C-alpha cells in the first residue's frame, strides 16, 4: 500500500502487512554518519497513528521531544533501588522499599514499558490492592509513595515526561486512636515498675517522649547533666537481614533535637549511670559498651527492642491496660505536656515532629481531664455573668 504523508507534511504513515498502522518520522541526524535518525510508532488505526505523529512532530518542532525509554518498569525499579536508594536512606528503609517492589510493584507493573505506564494502569493496581488483596489504605498509600518516588526520579533523568502517579486518587486513611495513660494509670504504672529490670528505661521514656529506638540509642555524650538537656540525634536499629547487627542511625526523618528534661528525669539518668557502673564492675573484662549507650544489658551490650516491648506489655497487663503499646508512653508524654499547659510549638519541638500542624493532628483530641477543665471554666463564666 502506498505511503501517505501526514497533514503536517512531516513523516510518513503506512499500513503494515500485519494489519497495524505505522508512522515513521525523523528525530535528527547521526553526528557520525550524517544520516537521518528515524523512529516508528504503531497503532491499530490510521487516525490513532496520525494523531500521535502530529503530537510528536509538534514536540520535535518545539524542542521538547523525549525519546521513549526502552526500560520496563521492573528494570527501572531495580536500577533505582541500587543507584538512588541503597546509599541514601537507612538500612531498614532500603529493606522495606525492596520488599514493596518485589511483592507488589514488580509483579503487577514490572513488564510494562516505563514510557508506556499510565495513570489508569496504576489506579487499577491500587484498587486491586484494596479490593482483592484487602490491604489497608495506609499500606496502599505507602506503596504509592515508593512508586511515586521512583517515577519522580525517572522524570528528573528525562526518561519519562511526567509522573503518571501524580494523577491517581489515593484511599483515605483513618488514624488509629492513641491510648495514652490517664493519671491513675500512670500512678499504677510507676508503682508496678518498682524493682523492674527496665524501671529506669521505662520512666525516662515516659517523661521524655523519646521513641523506642531513640531511648535505646541514647549515648552518654548526648546527656548534659550541667544543663539538664538531652541531645536526641540517633536511634538503635537492626540491619534488616538474618543475623544482622544493631547499629546507630539518624532519627526518624533525620531530625535532631535538644530536649530540656525535667529534674526528675536527670535524676533517673544519674541512677542509671550509677547502676551501669556497678554492672561494669561485676562484668569485669566481659564488659563491652562500645557504643557508649545509656541503657545496656549486664555486659554493656545493647538492649533488644522486642524484649523491651514484651516486658512492657507484661507491666501494662498488670495495671489493667493490656492494649497499651510501648509507643503509647510517647503519646502519654505529649498529652501530659498539653494538659500541663505547654504550647503546641514546645510539644512539637520536644517530640521532634516536622510541624506543629502534625502535632495538632495527632493530639488534637482532648482527654477527659481536659474536657472536665473546659466544663469547669464554662461553669465559672456562667456563674459570673448570671450573678
Q: What is the CATH number of the domain that holds 290?
A: 1.10.443.10
> Which of 21, 39, 62 is a domain's end point?
62
- Average the pLDDT over 307-329 and give the result: 96
Work out the average pLDDT over 77-97. 90
Q: Where are the beta strands (DSSP E) in the chain?
A: 4-5, 12-15, 21-29, 36-43, 223-224, 229-232, 235-238, 246-249, 257-260
Which among 62, 88, 110 is the end of a domain?
A: 62
383 falls within a domain: no
Region 4-15: mean pLDDT is: 60
Could you tell me if residue 35 is inside a domain? yes
Residue 258 sits in the same domain as residue 352: yes
DSSP assignment string, 256-309: -EEEE--HHHHHHHHHHHHHHHHHHHHHGGG---TT-BSSB-TTSPBPPHHHHH
Whether residue 266 is found in the same domain as residue 300:
yes
The answer on 349 and 328 residing in a single domain is yes
- Beta bridge partners, 23, equal 13, 41
Give the pLDDT confidence score for residue 363 in this predicted structure. 80
Judge if 223 and 326 occupy the same domain.
yes
Domain of 31, in residue numbers: 4-62
Task: Identify whether residues 201 and 258 lie together within a single domain.
Answer: yes
Same domain, 363 and 293: yes
- Whether residue 286 is contained in a domain is answered as yes
Within this chain, do residues 219 and 348 fall inside the same structural domain, yes or no?
Answer: yes
The residue among 62, 84, 103 that closes a domain is: 62
Task: Name the band, by pLDDT with cuts 50, 70 and 90, for residue 54.
Answer: confident
Are 356 and 225 members of one domain?
Answer: yes
Length of the chain: 387
What is the per-residue pLDDT for 64? 67
In order of 54, 135, 144, 152, 172, the CA distances from 128 in angstroms are: 35, 9, 13, 23, 15
Instruction: Please name the residues in contact with 120: beta carbons below 8 A apart, sequence gap of 6 or more.
Output: none
What is the total count of domains within the chain? 3
Does residue 50 lie in a domain region?
yes
pLDDT given for residue 21 in this prediction: 92
Average pLDDT of 366-372?
A: 66
Helices (H) and strands (E) in the chain, counts: 15, 9
d(CA 24, CA 27) in angstroms, rounded, equals 10
Shared domain for 187 and 134, answered yes or no, is no
Q: Is residue 205 domain-resident?
A: yes
235 phi/psi in degrees, rounded to 5? -145, 155
Across the range 358-383, mean pLDDT stands at 77
Task: Please report, in angstroms and rounded to a whole number, the separation of the first and last CA atoms in the chain.
Answer: 100
- How far apart, in whole angstroms, are the C-alpha atoms of residue 126 and residue 226? 53
Half-sphere exposure of 270 (CA within 13 A, CB side): 12
Instruction: Note whether 227 and 254 are same-domain residues.
Output: yes
Q: What is the 3-state secondary structure (H, E, C) of 349-369?
A: HHHCCCCHHHHHHHHCCCCHH
Within a domain: residue 105?
Answer: yes
Helix (H, G, I), strand (E, B) or coil at 175: coil
The answer to whether position 377 is within a domain reads: no
CATH number of the domain to which 101 belongs: 1.10.150.130
User: Which of the four pLDDT bands, split at 50, 70 and 90, describes residue 65?
Assistant: low
Label residue 366 by pLDDT band (50, 70, 90).
low
Q: Is residue 382 part of a domain?
A: no
Percent of the chain scoring above 70 in pLDDT: 94
- Residue 291's CB is within 10 A of a number of other CB atoms, namely 18
Q: How far apart are CA 260 and CA 231, in angstroms?
A: 9
Q: Tell me: do 80 and 209 sit in the same domain.
A: no
pLDDT of the residue at 157: 85
Neighbours of 30 (CB within 10 A): 9
Looking at residue 244, its pLDDT comes to: 81
The answer to whether 54 and 62 have CB atoms below 8 angstroms apart is: no
152 in the same domain as 56: no
Amino acid at each position: 500500500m502506498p505511503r501517505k504523508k501526514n497533514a503536517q507534511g512531516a513523516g510518513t504513515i503506512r499500513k503494515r502487512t500485519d494489519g497495524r498502522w505505522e508512522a515513521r518520522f525523523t528525530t535528527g541526524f547521526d553526528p557520525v554518519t550524517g544520516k537521518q535518525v528515524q523512529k516508528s510508532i504503531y497503532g491499530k488505526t490510521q487516525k490513532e497513528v496520525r494523531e500521535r505523529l502530529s503530537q510528536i512532530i509538534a514536540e520535535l518542532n518545539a524542542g521538547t521531544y523525549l525519546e521513549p525509554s526502552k526500560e520496563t518498569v521492573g528494570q527501572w525499579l531495580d536500577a533505582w533501588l541500587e543507584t538512588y536508594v541503597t546509599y541514601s536512606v537507612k538500612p531498614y528503609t532500603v529493606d522495606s522499599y525492596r520488599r514493596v517492589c518485589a511483592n507488589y510493584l514488580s509483579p503487577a507493573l514490572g513488564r510494562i514499558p516505563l514510557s508506556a505506564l499510565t495513570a489508569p494502569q496504576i489506579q487499577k493496581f491500587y484498587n486491586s490492592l484494596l479490593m482483592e488483596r484487602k490491604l489497608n489504605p495506609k499500606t496502599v498509600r505507602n506503596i504509592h509513595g515508593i512508586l511515586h518516588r521512583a517515577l519522580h526520579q525517572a522524570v528528573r533523568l528525562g526518561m519519562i515526561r511526567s509522573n503518571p502517579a501524580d494523577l491517581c486518587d489515593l484511599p483515605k486513611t483513618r488514624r488509629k486512636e492513641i491510648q495514652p495513660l490517664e493519671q491513675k494509670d500512670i500512678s499504677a504504672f510507676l508503682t508496678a515498675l518498682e524493682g523492674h529490670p527496665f524501671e529506669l528505661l521505662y520512666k525516662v521514656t515516659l517523661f521524655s517522649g523519646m521513641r523506642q529506638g531513640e531511648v535505646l540509642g541514647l549515648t552518654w555524650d548526648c546527656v548534659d547533666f550541667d544543663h539538664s538537656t538531652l541531645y536526641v540525634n540517633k536511634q538503635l536499629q537492626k540491619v534488616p537481614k538474618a543475623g544482622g547487627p544493631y547499629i546507630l542511625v539518624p532519627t526518624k526523618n533525620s531530625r535532631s533535637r535538644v530536649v530540656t528534661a525535667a529534674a526528675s528525669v536527670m535524676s533517673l539518668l544519674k541512677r542509671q549511670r550509677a547502676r551501669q557502673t556497678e554492672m561494669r564492675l561485676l562484668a569485669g573484662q566481659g564488659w563491652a559498651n562500645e557504643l557508649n549507650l545509656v541503657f545496656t544489658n549486664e555486659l554493656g551490650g545493647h538492649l533488644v527492642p522486642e524484649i523491651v516491648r514484651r516486658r512492657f506489655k507484661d507491666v501494662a497487663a498488670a495495671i489493667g491496660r493490656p492494649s497499651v503499646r510501648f509507643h503509647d508512653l510517647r503519646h502519654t508524654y505529649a498529652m501530659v505536656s498539653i494538659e500541663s499547659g505547654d504550647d503546641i510549638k514546645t510539644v512539637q519541638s520536644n517530640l521532634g515532629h516536622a510541624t506543629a500542624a502534625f502535632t495538632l493532628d495527632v493530639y488534637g483530641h482532648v482527654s477527659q481531664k481536659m474536657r472536665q477543665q473546659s466544663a469547669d471554666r464554662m461553669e465559672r463564666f456562667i456563674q459570673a455573668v448570671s450573678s
